[in-house]
Amino acid sequence: MNFVERKYNSLVRYVYWHYFSKKLNLFQIVEYPKSGGTWMTQLISKYLDTYYPRNVVPKFKHAVIHGHYKYSDSFNKIVYVVRDGRDIMVSYYFHYVIGNSRINPNVTKKNRDKLPFEDYDNIKQNLPLFIEYLYTDYLKGFNKFSWSQLNEDYYRHKDKICIVRYEDMLTNTALELEKALIFLGETSIDNNKLEDTVNAYNFKNQTKRKPGEEDKNSFLRKGVSGDWKNHFTKEAAIMFDKYAGQNLIDLGYEKDRSWIDKL
């Protein structure tokens, strides 16, 4: 997909989400990038046998659709997937700067031009500045927001939406999928169908690797939680805390800021 096609796709999707969601009874899966939203969308789409327009211009019909937008009262049924922001910083670095099979090489080059690191593979050294970038220059432009901003936005409306944690999806995918399906209107869950759906989209079946076995060139890089501990330095922790420390606590990922001193 070239630049013009990407821009057209983005425009159509914005209109689709904001002006047709209720009319088409869309099931909308929202996340900050690299939080597991694609996974949840795949699961729901397969279980319900519902159209999922992934990375294409959507047809204007009922669908389960995945995206990254701030909350709007115009949206229909929202499943919000949240993930530990520290893991997102690491995962997003690999996606945004290292690149993978699902990102256009020209996009990776553009990102690197904005972040002129001496060694792009030295994530420990680069991560503090990357985190700062995501909370400063990256936010300039249309539909840009930080991990904290998006969380705060959706949690203000938590009574109207279904919130699912990526970490809980890893622990018990079937339970979290069932929770989302009931929210979307399913009154009876077929356990055999649920199990088949979970198995079809588990990490091993999608990648032919076990969770934790890393492929830096894959969109599904590692499939675990807590990987931030392998990449965060004290400097990265301080930088993340500066911008998102309170939100990390508010979401229950930490009780206080003592995690910084353990690095």
List, for residues 164-205, the tens digit of each pLDDT value: 999 999 999 999 999 999 999 999 999 999 999 999 998 887
- Mean pLDDT, the chain, integer: 93
Average pLDDT over residues 76-87: 98
In the prediction, which pLDDT does 111 show? 86
- For residues 66 and 72, the answer to whether their CB atoms sit within 8 Å is no
pLDDT digits over 147-157, tens only?
Answer: 999 999 999 99
In the prediction, which pLDDT does 253 show? 98
Could you tell me the domains of the chain? 3-83+149-205 (3.40.50.300), 85-146+210-261 (no CATH)
In Å, how far are 51, 53, 135 from 56, measured between CA atoms? 12, 6, 29
pLDDT at position 218 over 70: no
**DSSP string across 64-84:** EEEE-----TT--EEEEEE--
Please report, as a single letter, which amino acid is at residue 100: N
pLDDT at position 228 over 80: yes
Give the chain's largest Cα–Cα span: 55
Cα separation, 162 vs 75, in Å, equals 13
pLDDT digits over 12-26, tens only?
Answer: 999 999 999 999 999
Tokens of 128: 């503090």
pLDDT digits over 102-137, tens only?
Answer: 788 888 888 899 998 999 999 999 999 999 999 999
Average pLDDT over residues 39-58: 96
In Å, how far are 191, 229, 251, 254 from 175, measured between CA atoms? 10, 27, 20, 24
Q: Which long-range contacts (CB under 8 A, 24 or more apart) does 93-97 make?
A: 93/123, 93/126, 93/127, 93/130, 93/231, 94/123, 94/216, 94/221, 95/33, 95/34, 95/219, 95/221, 96/130, 97/126, 97/130
